Structure 1
Amino acid sequence: MTAPRTTGIVIPTYNGLPLLRACVEAVRRHTDPERTPYELLIVDNGSTDGTAQWCGSERISFIRLPANIGFPRACNKGLRLAGGERLLLLNNDVTVTPRWLDNLSAALDGDDNVGMAGPMTNYASGKQQMDVPHADSAEFERIADEHNRSDPGKWEPVMRLVGFCMLFKREVYERVGELDERFSPGHYEDDDYCLRMRMLGYGLRLCRDTLVHHAGSASFRQVEPGKLQALVERNRRLFMEKWNVDPAAFF
């Protein structure tokens, strides 16, 4: 009997310890290490809120960076050191739900030509956005528990997946390479990665049978709105200069 594949879960974080605690707790609660083994790796992006000390106390592997170097660079540092036959980039403001990794893994492994899989959520741009009225986290989890029934009929080929929760094969990562750090501190590095993956012939799968909670842009909320909008516009221009195409074409 073939041993189950291990997933290296990389979680970048910056001064978001309460979110990180909830993220890790949900991963531990909703991921069966025997059926779907995984390894956690936290990339502490220069936090000053005790993140590194907490990771140590929880015996979680972590990289402690001296300063905030941005999302793409932090992800790359984590991916270089992560173990596993699969790799997963997970935002610290995502709370996973029952059978989340089982379902994503089934979609990823179901076709050799598929390079990446991603879930539905309550907060995202494009096709991954799903209206999920809920009063609290407990109600969201109940909704997700009912929703998360693996169904290949709900695996949709798409042009892009948003970077809040992206599962991909190690061999794909080794071919595609790292996130493009020109997009630091963040925005459009995920669009760029999806395009590069598709250019190599790999498909992307949106798993409509999998729902996770996303608080949404937690780290970037610490940036002044005007500066954030300027960053988004700058990175959109960088994307268009690199590829000569508007990223909105892939929504």
Structure 2
Amino acid sequence: MSKTSIIIPVHMAKELLGKCIASIRNHTDIPYEIIVIDNGSNDGTDEYCRKERITFVSLPWKHAVSDACNLGLRLSTGENLLLLKHDVLASRNWLSGMLQGLNSQEDIGIVRPSLTPIQIHLNKHVADEDVLERCILFKRDLLNKIGFLQTPQLFADRVFHDYCSRASQAGYQLMIAGKVKLNPDSTIERVAAHTP
């Protein structure tokens, strides 16, 4: 089975990162690697990564999320590429569910998870924007075809959404498949679960 590179950009959130990584380790039984991009933190994230033997890069100051993600993509070795924010908790079968969706059709470009139970829906990428901006999965072939992430001119925090739009413009389908949770300790507002 092909390996998935899980790239996690993080800034000043060591405790949430620890919970995220613990959930990945507890709920992922297929090949993966974790790459943390410590985006200018001074909270001990680098020491945590060393202690946990996690591949990481510690940037000296905070960069744009797109730049941090692109650095992780350049370091990755997996055929499948997953960009994940540090406040996401993996659930049982989360990655296998997303990979099933990604490999279900040739024209699937990007898969994102849902907060609802495992399901597969095509082109439902405009709802659950908060989840979309926290986790996307795609193949290296897509990266080779449409390039690296860019920072949108209007909404710099919608980097993943922008990448999905570029994939869609290139003729790829977008899909919801798999389930994750938002960390209950996160300072973000919890997204209400719904059935698309």
Alignment match, 1:189: 159
Determine what percentage of the aligned residue pairs are the same residue. Answer: 34
Is residue 180 of structure 2 the alignment partner of residue 212 of structure 1? Answer: yes
Is the contact between residue 95 and residue 213 of structure 1 (CA under 8 Å) also seen in structure 2?
yes
Q: Which amino acid aligns with 1:190?
A: F
Which residue does the alignment assign to 2:16? 19
Which structure is larger by alpha-carbon Rg, 1 or 2? 1
Q: Letter of the aligned partner of 2:92 in structure 1?
A: P
Code of the residue aligned with 2:160 in structure 1: it is D
Q: Distance in 1 between matches of 2:123 and 2:36?
A: 30
SS of aligned partner of 2:144 = helix
Cα distance per residue 1:68-118 (max 9 Å; x no partner): 112111111111111100000000000010000000000001111101111
From the two aligned structures, give the one with the greater strand fraction: 2
**After superposition, what is the alpha-carbon deviation per residue over 1:203-229, rounded to whole angstroms, capped at 9, x for unaligned?**
10012xx2211249x5889xxxxxxxx
Partner of 2:192: none
Query: TM-score by structure 1 length?
Result: 0.68
Gaps of 5+ in 1: 122-129, 131-146, 222-251
Structure 2 portions without partners, runs of 5+: 190-196
Contact 1:16 1:219 in 2 (8 A): no
Task: Specify the SS of the correspondent of 1:92.
Answer: coil
**Aligned-pair Cα RMSD in Å:** 2.2
**1:99 corresponds to:** 93
Deviation at 1:185, TM superposition (A): 9.0
One-letter code of the match for 2:9? Answer: P
Aligned partners of 2:27 and 2:150: how far apart in 1?
A: 31
| Counterpart residue identity of residue 19, structure 1 | L
Kept in 2: contact 1:5–1:85 (CA 8 A): yes
Residue 159 of structure 1 deviates from its aligned partner by: 4.3
The 2-side partners of 1:31 and 1:184 are apart by 36
Larger mean CA deviation between 67-76 and 7-16 belongs to 67-76
Q: Which amino acid aligns with 1:16?
A: A
TM-score where L is the length of structure 2: 0.86
Q: Distance in 2 between matches of 1:215 and 1:39?
A: 21
Whether the aligned pair in 2 keeps the contact of 1:10 and 1:89 (CA below 8 Å) is yes
Kindly tell me: are residues 164 and 183 of structure 1, through their superposed partners in 2, closer, same or farther at Cα, counting changes over 3 Å? farther
Which string of whole-angstrom CA distances, capped at 9 and with x for unpartnered residues, describes residues 23-47 of structure 1? 0000000000xxx200000000011
Q: Is the 8 A contact 1:89 1:163 kept in 2?
A: no
**Is residue 8–residue 84 contact of structure 2 (8 Å, CA) maintained in 1?**
yes
Greater CA deviation, 45-54 or 161-170? Answer: 161-170
TM-aligned CA distance change 1:155 to 1:182, over 3 Å: closer
Q: Does residue 1:111 correspond to 2:112, yes or no?
A: no
2:18 aligned with 1:48, yes or no? no
In 2, Cα distance between equivalents of 1:100 and 1:158: 18
Cα distance in 2 for partners of 1:112, 1:101 equals: 19
